[in-house]
Amino acid sequence: MIFLRYTGKDPSWIIVVMTSIPDSDYVVHIILKAFNFVSPFMIHHGSFHNVISLIYISFIAALVFSKILKIDYLTAVMCSMMGILLHFIEDFIVYPPAYMYLYPFKMTEYGMNLIPETRDLGIAGSEVLLVGMLLLCISIGIRKYFEKGWSVMKYVNDWMHIGKMVKYQVELLLIR
């Protein structure tokens, strides 16, 4: 919100996209297993839930975002790190000690298990989704209050515009 007011750009969608990145280690693990790739450093669920992954992935994602979408690199790094960090915070609150967030500096698993996660909806527990939806509604309310003329449809239109830009860039890469 504040960034949009002073720069005219809204990179908040980067935060939303990057919150799913730490769990992509699960997908990478499945793909590597399907190709019978064996390594002493096999990627498994939790491999991307640490400080090193946060830094490494954020810098690479920021490079992509800054080139394709013409966003300032430092802004893209900050938004990428914020998204991954928010995922870490959510996992820390929901799960019992399960991930080594401070690896390689500390080999301790952290977690609070504040909201017991039940996975009764297949992807997550209804309690976790309820809290997430409540926080989303609060953030929409705050944004609506501070930004006159902002609407959910404007946000949807922004996402559609971003999708068109990404499609155009992919087409350019495929033509070369």
The single residue listed with the structure tokens 């919100």 is 1
Does the pLDDT at position 122 exceed 60?
no
State the Cα–Cα distance between residues 21 and 90, nearest whole angstrom. 13
Which three-class secondary structure string do you get for the chain? Answer: CHHHHHHCCCCHHHHHHHCCHHHHHHHHHHHHHHCCCCCCCCCCCCCCCCHHHHHHHHHHHHHHHHHHHCCCHHHHHHHHHHHHHHHHHHHHHHCCCCECCCCCCCCCCECCCCCCCCCCCCCCCHHHHHHHHHHHHHHHHHHHHHCCCCCHHHHHHHHHHHHHHHHHHHHHHHHC
Domain coordinates in residue numbering, the chain: 2-171
Q: 118 vs 22, which has greater pLDDT?
A: 22
Q: How far apart are CA 143 and CA 86, in angstroms?
A: 19
Q: What is the pLDDT of residue 42?
A: 67
* Cα angle value 77/51/88 (rounded, 5°): 85
Checking if the pLDDT of 89 tops 80, the result is yes
Tens of pLDDT along 129-154? Answer: 777 777 777 777 777 777 766 666 76
In which band, very low, low, confident or very high, does the pLDDT at 14 lie, cut at 50, 70 and 90?
confident
pTM equals: 0.70
